[in-house]
């Protein structure tokens, strides 16, 4: 007991001379050596793999040549960014990124919430449990597999086209994967298929926290199931929805590249290319490292700005929700 709380007591008693403070640091270091041994190696690890790449941003202001040492690199100021902001392709890529992340953001909210609310209305436990277990399944499958499945389902003789023909919604099979204007929808739908069940977990947990008596009272007042969903369940998880929504605004630009890369093909690049793929194609494939870094840096900086905005919004919201 004494040794555990000693650290606090020490700092509290010794706000005095810096020498005293220093000594208590070293004595803490020795006393808590196991805690340091269990954490410092990982801190160094984080520094190498997560912080050092930030140093790599210097490349964006150079004309980086891999063979040269850091001191010998040619510094070009904002030339790379100048080139980037004058590239028509960049705006196309930015449009695609924002479009797909915006669609993903909205769909990623509506569908899991709907699914959670509907599932919550199910009274049969076995049905509920089986439905939920199955709904997680696609989350655990890689994008490689999902892209393969989507491609085969949407192929000319795939099930989707067959259904459309059978329902007379289409006269001839639609070439989904070959037409650019389908691409954003395909990516979003694949995302819905893969993640709806998984993302519903949080909402289901939030719904469990709603007071059951509210439903009883509503029933007495003659509220039907829809009224209960609309007036009790949804308001009950409102704060969860807001928190998650605000947090995901911060990730608008970091939507990844896996699905776009796996589902895209040469025919739809105008719609499938996103910032990360653009950085990959320029920065690594044809070794324009500095230009690629400028793209990556743009992406990271905007993401952080978005996150701060989202965080500010979140704080404001948190304050309001308390009042």
Of residues 32-51, those binding another protein (CB under 8 A): 32, 34-39, 42-43, 45-46, 48-51
Q: Are 162 and 154 in contact (CB under 8 A)?
A: no
The window from 15-23, 79-87, 93-101, 147-155 that contacts another protein (CB under 8 A) reads 147-155
Distances (CA, A) of 251 to 140, 195, 228: 21, 16, 33
b/e 86-109 (16+ beta carbons within 10 angstroms → b): eeeebeebbebbebbbebbbebbb
Identify the residue among 270, 303, 313, 317 touching another protein (CB under 8 A). Answer: 303
Residue 201 touching another protein (CB under 8 A): yes
Residues 193, 137: Cα–Cα separation, whole Å: 10
Q: Tell me: does residue 248 bind another protein (CB under 8 A).
A: no
Contact positions with another protein (CB under 8 A) in 120-139 = 121-123, 127, 130-131, 133-138
Pick one of 61, 90, 115, 314: the residue that binds another protein (CB under 8 A): 115
DSSP single-letter state for residue 49:
I
Between 261 and 290, how does the x/- string for binding to another protein read (CB under 8 A)? Answer: xx--xx---------x--xx--xxx---x-
- Torsion sign across C-alpha atoms 55, 59, 60, 66: negative
Cβ distance to another protein smaller for residue 43 or 110: 43
Q: Is 224 in the site for another protein (CB under 8 A)?
A: yes
Residue 300 as a binder of another protein (CB under 8 A): the answer is: yes
Question: CA of 115: how far to CAs of 105, 122, 146, 181, in Å?
Answer: 16, 11, 21, 28
User: Residue 252 in contact with residue 98, Cβ under 8 Å?
Assistant: yes
Q: Does 73 bind another protein (CB under 8 A)?
A: no
In the range 181-200, which residues lie near another protein by CB under 8 A? 193, 197
């Amino acid at each position: 007991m004494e040794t555990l709380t000693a650290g606090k007591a020490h700092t509290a008693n010794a706000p005095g001379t810096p020498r005293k403070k220093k000594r208590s640091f070293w004595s803490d270091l020795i006393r808590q050596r196991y805690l340091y041994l269990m954490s410092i190696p990982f801190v160094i690890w984080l520094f190498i793999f997560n912080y050092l790449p930030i140093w790599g941003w210097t490349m964006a202001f150079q004309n980086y040549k891999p063979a040269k040492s850091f001191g010998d690199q040619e510094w070009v100021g904002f030339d790379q960014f100048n080139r980037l902001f004058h590239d028509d392709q960049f705006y196309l890529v930015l449009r695609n990124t924002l479009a797909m992340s915006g669609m993903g953001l909205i769909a990623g909210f509506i569908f899991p919430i709907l699914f959670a609310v509907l599932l919550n209305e199910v009274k049969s436990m076995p049905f509920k449990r089986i439905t939920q277990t199955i709904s997680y399944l696609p989350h655990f499958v890689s994008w490689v597999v999902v892209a393969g499945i989507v491609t085969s389902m949407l192929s000319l003789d795939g099930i989707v086209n067959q259904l459309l023909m059978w329902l007379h919604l289409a006269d001839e099979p639609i070439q989904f994967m070959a037409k650019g204007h389908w691409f954003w929808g395909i990516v979003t739908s694949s995302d819905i298929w893969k993640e709806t069940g998984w993302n519903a977990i949080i909402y289901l947990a939030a719904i469990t926290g709603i007071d059951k008596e509210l439903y009883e009272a509503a029933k007495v007042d003659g509220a039907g199931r829809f009224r209960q969903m609309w007036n009790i369940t949804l308001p009950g998880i409102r704060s969860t929805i807001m928190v998650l929504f605000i947090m995901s605004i911060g990730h608008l630009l970091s939507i990844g590249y896996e699905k776009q890369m796996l589902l895209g093909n040469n025919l739809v690049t105008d719609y499938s290319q996103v910032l990360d793929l653009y950085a990959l194609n320029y920065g690594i494939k044809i070794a324009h490292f500095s230009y690629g870094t400028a793209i990556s840096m743009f992406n990271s900086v905007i993401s952080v700005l978005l996150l701060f905005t989202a965080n500010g919004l979140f704080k404001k919201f948190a304050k309001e929700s308390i009042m």
